[in-house]
């Protein structure tokens, strides 16, 4: 059973009964150690199968653990307490529903059901949902529960928070009346059951003498308290985790639980699993060097016996379009060399980055699958925006009408829509045409919506396609709706990326300068739609052509179940997975690390852990790519290399484009517009700067100060700092600032109105 384990794994499996912390690095066999520990305890008669509890974070992990355990021992695993926190708490509450104050048949609300219940409560109580958006209320309630707080426990410091606490109480009363619990309530109610009922608490404390916990770094405050309460009767917690892979702070995970557990329970009883069975040496050494920049780590260093392997390849392209094309070309080469598509993954920090990669894969005819998420044109917020656009092109599209007529909410309820549908059937007309026949408040709200669509359709006659989409996102209420949701940042980024998609489409189809609603003279150049579509497109407006393009890209290029396909995903979704070849895209300051993380050390350290997770997904080949210019938020941004590149030693990197030198900004702009094609690369040498982007972030491509004109790429000389290259510009006139990479002095931000600079080139 333990003969095939390495010495560190054997030491962890055969620990005598005691609290223990196992620091299990990526690819070090932690699941194997957990299940073998359970089997060893049973086989050595130190525990019965029913005296063990094993806690995981996913049902998949729980199933894998049970499968491995049954392969090691001839036992029936059906009755074992192995499952997720929520699953085990549900099991406990079902057994003691009366003591927990719940009906025997209590129902569980998932996140969507919980939100619907909160919306119903807010409406019924006459609460202003502009001041108290349902999603904000949901987040407040769940956050309080995850801290173990009932309404009476929540600290109140102003009137707004007092009202939130009152809504929390109303919600709690509503759930109790209806006999339902949400996910956070499962854990809180189970914790309270053990805390307040001594006989039940002592029963479980006697029963479970060994509690094994997977992914301990992802536990939140209440989960930690629940575990230690269960162990209060003398049980031993065997915690397995990796503080370097704690990337879920936004979900409430507390990486500090690991150091707290070591200090309060394990008391130095820590075993490190550092031998990696997944990746080659260059990949692991890169990850080790990167994560070493974080403070307060428990500390470990991954190593392998597989050899160094290939160095990490780094490529810097002039634009995000060229970056995507380079990735596609490299993927084609890997496939030609025998790689399976499913063993190739493209990772990105932000969901919005997937759109341009999806488009490149689609154009190349390479099947792909978006793991743990939806393809770009299938995402809720994108489909909402497209529905508005479709109604502007064709107001009689009933499917699009029903999708957005009351989204965002505008007082058009189910009863009103039912009456409208009845009228439309009687008149044999579309819903739009039946609106004038409606009366009352519902009819007035429908008329206002129809007028909104007509007004936006009128704008299509004067605005370009990208401008029109921006107009729709603002005036439809979509932007305001998602701005009220703290988790809406990704959705807003995707809406902004839809503007970028339109700009790219306009450039490819040679439609620059043409209003979105006008039919052009002559056939369109429809590169992305195929030559056979050109004749049909000749009679289409840019808006109609773009909608056709979106439908095609959202169509059948997604891989079918079981089909060999390229894997696309965010880095968060990639945790726990591994691939032969991994591309990490957008390795730029402000993107990875994300600009939202740069304001505080804790945020930056989580971003570094996220990059560590991304790097350690690769078995054989790792690629890091970045672009000097990228379309973000509807504007071209000029990027700096991520500081993470500077934190990886040069001996582990192989630059496929020169590390030094930078293309003129004109070349970058042409690359974005499509004038430059594969084979032309331009590189910005910032010489390893780890400086953050300029604070204002309102970057520009050129600035004139007096008689001097500065551009991105301009060579300059300073009396003190020597020669350098302009890599960022902001402001204008005497207030302009330049970020300059000096050859010998590093990166400096200088006020151009007072700095005495001499232009040497560009």
485 has catalytic annotation? no
Report DSSP state, residue 464: -
Q: CB burial class (10 A; 0-12, 13-18, 19+) of residue 545? A: buried
Query: Do the beta carbons of residue 673 and residue 619 sit within 8 Å?
Result: no
Report DSSP state, residue 275: B
Tokens standing for 115? 């939100």
Which residue among the candidates 36, 114, 245, 725 is catalytic per the annotation? 245
Q: Rounded to whole angstroms, how far apart are CA atoms 13 and 604? A: 35
The total of other beta-carbon atoms located within 10 Å of residue 562's CB is 7
Which residue among the candidates 214, 381, 508, 686 is catalytic per the annotation? 214
433 has catalytic annotation? no
Report DSSP state, residue 734: G
**What is the DSSP secondary-structure string of 698-731?**
-B-SEEEETTEEEETT-EEEETTTEEEEEEEEES
245 has catalytic annotation? yes
Q: Rounded to whole angstroms, how far apart are CA atoms 234 and 563? A: 51
Which residue among the candidates 146, 182, 185, 215 is catalytic per the annotation? 215
Q: Rounded to whole angstroms, how far apart are CA atoms 603 and 650? A: 26
Which residue among the candidates 617, 621, 630, 641 is catalytic per the annotation? 617
Which residue among the candidates 10, 31, 43, 195 is catalytic per the annotation? 31
Burial 257-286 (b: 16+ CB within 10 A, else e): bbeebbeebbeeebbbbbbbebbbbbbbbb
**Spatial CA neighbour of 587 closest among 270, 282, 297, 327:** 327
**Spatial CA neighbour of 165 closest among 185, 150, 178:** 150
- The size of the chain, in residues, is 762
**What is the DSSP secondary-structure string of 495-561?**
HHHHHHHHHHHHHHTT-TT--TTSPPSS----TTT-GGGHHHHTT--HHHHHHHHHHHHTSS-BPPT
Query: Do the beta carbons of residue 410 and residue 448 sit within 8 Å?
Result: yes
36 has catalytic annotation? no
The total of other beta-carbon atoms located within 10 Å of residue 758's CB is 11
31 has catalytic annotation? yes
Helix axes 354-364, 489-508, angle to 10 degrees: 40
316 has catalytic annotation? no
Query: 468: which residues sit within 8 A by CB, 6+ positions away?
Result: 389, 456, 459, 460, 502, 516, 517, 543
Specify which residues 366 forms β-bridges with: none
Rounded to the nearest angstrom, the gap between the alpha carbon of residue 666 and the centroid of all alpha carbons in its chain is 33
Query: 72: which residues sit within 8 A by CB, 6+ positions away?
Result: 1, 35, 36, 39
Report DSSP state, residue 147: T
Which residue among the candidates 8, 9, 30, 393 is catalytic per the annotation? 30
Query: Any idea which residues carry the catalytic annotation?
Result: 30-31, 214-215, 245, 617
């Amino acid at each position: 059973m333990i003969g095939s384990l390495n010495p560190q794994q054997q030491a962890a499996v055969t620990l005598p009964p005691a609290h223990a912390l196992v620091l299990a690095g990526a690819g070090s066999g932690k699941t194997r150690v957990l299940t073998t520990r359970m089997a060893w305890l049973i086989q050595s008669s130190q525990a019965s199968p029913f005296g063990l509890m094993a806690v995981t974070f996913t049902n998949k992990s729980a199933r894998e653990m049970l499968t491995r355990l049954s392969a090691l021992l001839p036992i029936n695993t059906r009755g074992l307490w192995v499952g997720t926190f929520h699953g085990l708490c549900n099991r406990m509450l079902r057994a003691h529903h009366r003591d927990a104050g719940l009906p025997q048949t209590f129902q569980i609300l998932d996140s969507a059901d919980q939100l619907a219940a909160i919306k119903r409560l807010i409406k019924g109580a006459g609460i202003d949902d502009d001041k108290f958006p349902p999603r904000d209320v949901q987040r407040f309630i769940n956050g309080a529960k995850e801290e173990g707080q009932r309404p009476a426990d929540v600290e109140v410091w102003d009137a707004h928070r007092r009202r939130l606490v009152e809504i929390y109480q109303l919600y709690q009363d509503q759930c109790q009346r209806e006999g339902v619990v949400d996910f956070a309530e499962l854990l809180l109610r189970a914790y309270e059951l053990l805390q307040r009922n001594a006989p039940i608490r002592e029963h479980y404390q006697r029963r479970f003498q060994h509690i094994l916990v997977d992914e301990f770094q992802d536990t939140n405050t209440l989960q930690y308290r629940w575990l230690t309460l269960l162990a209060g009767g003398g049980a031993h917690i065997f915690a397995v985790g990796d503080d370097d892979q704690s990337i879920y702070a936004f979900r409430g995970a507390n990486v500090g639980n690991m150091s707290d557990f070591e200090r309060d329970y394990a008391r130095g009883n820590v075993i490190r699993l550092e031998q990696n069975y997944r990746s080659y040496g260059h990949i692991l050494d890169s990850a080790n060097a990167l994560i070493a920049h974080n403070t307060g780590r428990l500390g470990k260093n991954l190593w392998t016996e597989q050899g160094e392997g290939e160095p990490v390849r780094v490529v810097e392209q002039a634009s995000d379009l060229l970056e995507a094309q380079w990735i596609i070309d490299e993927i084609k080469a890997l496939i030609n060399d025998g790689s399976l598509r499913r063993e190739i993954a493209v990772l990105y920090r932000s969901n919005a980055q997937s759109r341009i990669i999806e488009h490149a894969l689609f154009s190349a005819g390479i099947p792909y699958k978006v793991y743990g998420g939806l393809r770009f044109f299938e995402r809720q917020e994108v489909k909402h925006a497209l529905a508005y656009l479709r109604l502007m092109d064709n107001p009689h599209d009933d499917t699009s009408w029903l999708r957005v007529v009351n989204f965002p909410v505008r007082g058009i309820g189910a009863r009103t829509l039912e009456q409208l549908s009845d009228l439309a059937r009687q008149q044999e007309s579309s819903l739009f045409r039946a609106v004038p026949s409606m009366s009352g408040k519902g009819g007035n709200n429908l008329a206002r919506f129809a007028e909104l669509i007509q007004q936006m359709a009128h704008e299509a006659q004067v605005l370009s396609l990208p401008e029109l989409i921006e107009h729709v996102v603002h005036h439809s209420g979509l932007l305001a709706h998602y701005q009220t949701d703290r988790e809406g940042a990704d959705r807003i980024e995707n809406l902004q990326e839809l503007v970028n998609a339109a700009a790219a489409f306009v450039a490819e189809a040679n439609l620059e300068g043409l209003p979105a609603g006008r039919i052009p003279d002559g056939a369109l150049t429809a590169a992305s739609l195929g030559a056979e579509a050109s004749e049909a497109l000749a009679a289409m407006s840019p808006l109609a052509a773009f909608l056709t393009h979106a439908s095609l890209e959202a169509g059948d290029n997604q891989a079918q179940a079981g089909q060999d396909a390229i894997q696309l995903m965010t880095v968060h979704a990639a945790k726990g997975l591994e691939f032969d070849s991994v591309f990490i895209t957008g390795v730029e300051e402000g993107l990875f690390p994300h600009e939202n993380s740069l304001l505080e050390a804790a945020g930056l350290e989580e971003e570094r852990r996220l990059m560590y997770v991304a790097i350690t997904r690769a078995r054989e080949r790792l690629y890091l790519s970045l672009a000097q210019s990228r379309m973000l938020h509807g504007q071209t941004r000029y990027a700096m290399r991520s500081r993470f590149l500077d934190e990886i030693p040069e001996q582990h990197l192989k630059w496929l484009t020169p590390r030094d030198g930078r293309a003129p900004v004109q070349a970058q702009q042409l690359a974005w517009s499509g004038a430059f094609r594969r084979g032309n690369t331009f590189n910005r040498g910032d010489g390893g700067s780890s400086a953050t982007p300029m604070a204002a972030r309102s970057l520009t491509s050129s600035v004139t100060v007096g008689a001097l004109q500065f551009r991105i790429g301009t060579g300059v000389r300073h009396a003190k700092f020597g020669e350098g290259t302009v890599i960022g510009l902001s402001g204008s006139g005497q207030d302009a600032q330049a970020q300059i990479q000096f050859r010998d002095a590093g990166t400096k931000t200088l006020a151009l109105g007072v700095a005495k600079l001499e232009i040497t080139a560009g």
